[in-house]
Amino acid sequence: MSSSRTHAPVWIAALCAACALGNPSGVEPEPVAPAFAWELPPGFPEPSVPPNNPMSPQKVELGRRLFYDKRLSNNGTFSCASCHVQALAFTDGRATAIGSTGQLHPRSSMSLANVAYASTLTWANPLMTALERQALVPELGDAPVELGLHSIAQIEERLRGVAIYRTLFRASFPDAEEPITANHMNKAIATFQRTLISGRSAFDRWYFDGDDSAMSEAAQRGYALFDGPALGCSRCHAGFNFSDQTRAAGENRSDLPYHNTGLYNIDRGGTYPAPNTGVHEVTQNPADMGRFKVPSLRNIAVTAPYMHDGSIATLSEVLDHYAAGGRTILEGRAAGNGSQSPLKSERLTGFALGAQERADLLAFLDSLTDDEFLGDPKFSDPWRE
């Protein structure tokens, strides 16, 4: 997290004042903006940051403004935050997302909590590994339309007309001949996203801080079930971020696991309904049918509905799916028995779950909610301050 914890850091006001005094670059000897310092929860390693986009408080603040700015959509109605709402762990509460033109998307909005640690981005693209590059998809993509920008020049022109952006871009990229570019915009948004670190839940206070009173006995029993061999949940939802696609600074992962969880089995051959065929969409390899990324379980209680297409409404129903070793759909175009899919991960063998065990597991999952993160003002909309 940024070392700057106030709504509007002092250095921003100073830079804006410099502009008003006739120095449009905003570059003044004093005050000097502080160097960036991570404030990481216990048990959390430093995130991986690309060498060509180092962290800085200035860039974090610029990225936060861009993240919440509806000028980044063609029609001025949507921002990044329209699909990534802080109170919902930066998801949107919908089964599938909706774009700025009203077009429904085939998949749900993924949580951005701890996205700095993600080995890959999006639900099923092993080639998408950089936040800076991923930003181009919602900005310029047309299948489906998200922000719906028509060109890079369009957004650059808009941003150059905003006084505070002229200040913040210059402060964030002081060596650039032209600070306000789409490339710099995406670097700033990525920088802000890397600060969205969630690690102050009741579970964290119990597990990392050693506070025995932080988590209920039911939740502690639930964690023992979750982490034990009978259910095997932690084989995929692994480590401090509860995902097997996690990397920290200095780590270069060559293994990028994706899993078919038997959510669909349309033709008894393991087929998933188009267009959501998982990694198969990228590779066209039949063996990749239905393979999706394992999302983090952090803040999972506030990110319903679940799965890549939002097709499971509650956490209790998610437990039903895994207990059965795959979902059975009795009728309709997606009918089939997922537990019998030949492409299903060998890890999904099913398990028995009693009423008390179910309640304990749900209590554990609820303990992963980080209320401090969901309401932290340094991640909120700066245009409303």
For the chain, 385 residues long, the average pLDDT of each consecutive 10-residue run is: 39 44 43 77 97 97 98 97 98 98 97 98 96 96 95 95 98 97 98 98 98 98 97 96 96 90 97 97 97 98 98 98 98 97 96 97 98 98 93
Q: How many CA atoms lie within 13 A of 96 on its CB side?
A: 14
| 120 contact partners, CB below 8 Å, separation of at least 6 | 126, 127, 128, 129, 245, 256, 293
Cα separation, 340 vs 268, whole angstroms: 7
DSSP state letter for 142: B
- Domains annotated for the chain, with CATH where assigned, are 10-198 (1.10.760.10), 202-366 (1.10.760.10)
Token pair 């003044």: residue: 28
Cα separation, 333 vs 343, whole angstroms: 19
| 55 contact partners, CB below 8 Å, separation of at least 6 | 36, 38, 49, 191, 194
- Could you tell me if residue 326 is left (phi over 0), alpha (psi between -120 and 50 degrees) or otherwise beta? left
Cα separation, 113 vs 298, whole angstroms: 8
Q: Write the pLDDT tens digit of every residue in 121-145.
A: 999 999 999 999 999 999 999 999 9
Please check whether residue 335 is in contact with residue 152, taking contact to mean a CB–CB distance below 8 angstroms. Answer: no
Q: Is 336 helix (H, G, I), strand (E, B) or coil?
A: strand
Please check whether residue 158 is in contact with residue 71, taking contact to mean a CB–CB distance below 8 angstroms. Answer: yes
pLDDT of 12 reads: 46
State CA 78 to chain mean position distance: 18
Nearest to 114 by CA among 41, 16, 57, 220: 41
pLDDT of 253 reads: 80
Beta strands per DSSP E along 299-348: 328-329, 336-337
Cα separation, 125 vs 240, whole angstroms: 23
* Mean pLDDT taken over the chain: 92
DSSP state letter for 66: H
Cα separation, 175 vs 309, whole angstroms: 43
* Residue 381: count of CB within 10 angstroms of its CB: 15
Bond prior to 229 in cis (omega within 30° of 0)? no
pLDDT of 254 reads: 78
Cα separation, 127 vs 98, whole angstroms: 24
Cα separation, 213 vs 216, whole angstroms: 7
pLDDT of 252 reads: 84
Strand partners, 233: none
Cα separation, 27 vs 15, whole angstroms: 7
Phi and psi dihedrals of 146, rounded to 5? -115, -90
| 332 contact partners, CB below 8 Å, separation of at least 6 | none
pLDDT of 33 reads: 54
| Helix (H) and strand (E) counts in the chain | 14, 2
pTM attached to this predicted model: 0.91
